């Protein structure tokens, strides 16, 4: 793969948590196609290796590091290893997340609630903690966090823990953006709506049933592709959005509207 002449990320090192599948993998491929050296992180070595293989098959540069974003020691090691191996960290997409077992709030088990918040909210906080620590000391950088449109509207009974955890990511993003923009660290979030991943299906649904349900609920009439979400992440990470600070970019076909 030869980076296009308009490549926005040549010479940059980009870290993507949750980079083994779905939006994470598509975003990793997109960054690599625009010149970045991409490091994907997550708990499953096999899926990370598949992402690296896909990037390298196109001629791009990639690396994989296993890490649990809920563990501060592992997150610190992750960021330190990226810097040690590749000489820096310029861009981070904190994408690792989990939906958790669905359940109405009064029936939800405490361990499900705790796990969803550990991955979705604590994981983003820990990632930012160590990414910011490096970036503020090395000329700045860009961070994009994965929130969700459900954090805005909450219209999914049974997913209260997920909705609350993602709303927290959106607020945390705005707070962090204000705290660190003066030191050259620009932080934003992206909130995807229904996207063509396993999460877009309800239990037992066929693709046809999923598509019909979405068509009735989403003004645009379809789910997003993972590429459409990745395109938003890359824009937020690029100089083209250089005046955008503390924003949560909703990409949901008008569902929130």
Residues tagged active-site: 162
Take residue 16 and report the two structure tokens written for it. Answer: 């993507």
Quote the crossing angle between the two packed helices 110-117 and 160-180, to the nearest 10°: 30
Residues whose CB is less than 8 angstroms from the CB of residue 9 and which lie 6 or more positions away in sequence, other chains included? 31, 34, 35, 36, 91, 234, 237, 238
For residue 133, what are the contacts with CB-CB under 8 A and spacing of at least 6? 79
Residues near 144 by beta carbon (within 8 Å), at least 6 away in sequence: 91, 92, 93, 94, 187, 188, 189, 190, 233, 236, 237
The three state secondary structure string of 41-100 is EECCHHHHHHHHHHHHHCCCEEEEEECCCCCHHHHHHHHHHHHHHHCCCCEEEECCCCCC
The separation between CA 183 and the C-alpha centre of its own chain, rounded to angstroms, equals 23
Helices then strands, each counted (H, E), the chain: 9, 7
């Amino acid at each position: 793969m030869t980076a296009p002449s308009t490549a926005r990320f040549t010479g940059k090192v980009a870290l993507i948590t949750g980079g083994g599948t779905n939006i994470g993998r598509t975003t990793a491929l997109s960054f690599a196609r625009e010149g970045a050296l991409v490091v994907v992180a997550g708990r499953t070595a096999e899926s990370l290796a598949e992402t690296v293989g896909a990037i390298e098959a196109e001629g791009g540069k990639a690396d994989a590091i296993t890490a649990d974003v809920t563990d501060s020691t592992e997150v610190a090691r992750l960021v330190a290893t990226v810097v040690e191996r590749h000489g820096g960290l310029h861009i981070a997409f904190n994408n690792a997340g989990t939906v958790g077992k669905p359940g109405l709030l009064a029936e939800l088990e405490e361990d499900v609630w705790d796990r969803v918040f550990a991955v979705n909210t604590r994981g983003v906080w820990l990632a930012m903690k160590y990414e910011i620590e490096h970036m503020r000391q090395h000329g700045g950088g860009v961070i994009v966090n994965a929130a969700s449109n459900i954090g805005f509207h909450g219209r999914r009974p049974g997913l209260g823990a997920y909705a609350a955890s993602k709303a927290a990511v959106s607020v945390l993003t705005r707070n962090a953006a204000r705290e660190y923009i003066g030191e050259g660290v620009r932080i934003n979030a992206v909130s995807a709506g229904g996207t063509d991943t396993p999460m877009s299906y309800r239990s037992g649904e066929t693709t046809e049933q999923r598509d019909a349900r979405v068509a009735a609920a989403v003004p645009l009439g379809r789910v997003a592709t993972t590429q459409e979400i990745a395109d938003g992440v890359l824009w937020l990470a690029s100089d083209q959005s250089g005046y955008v600070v503390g924003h949560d970019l909703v990409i949901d076909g008008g569902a929130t509207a």
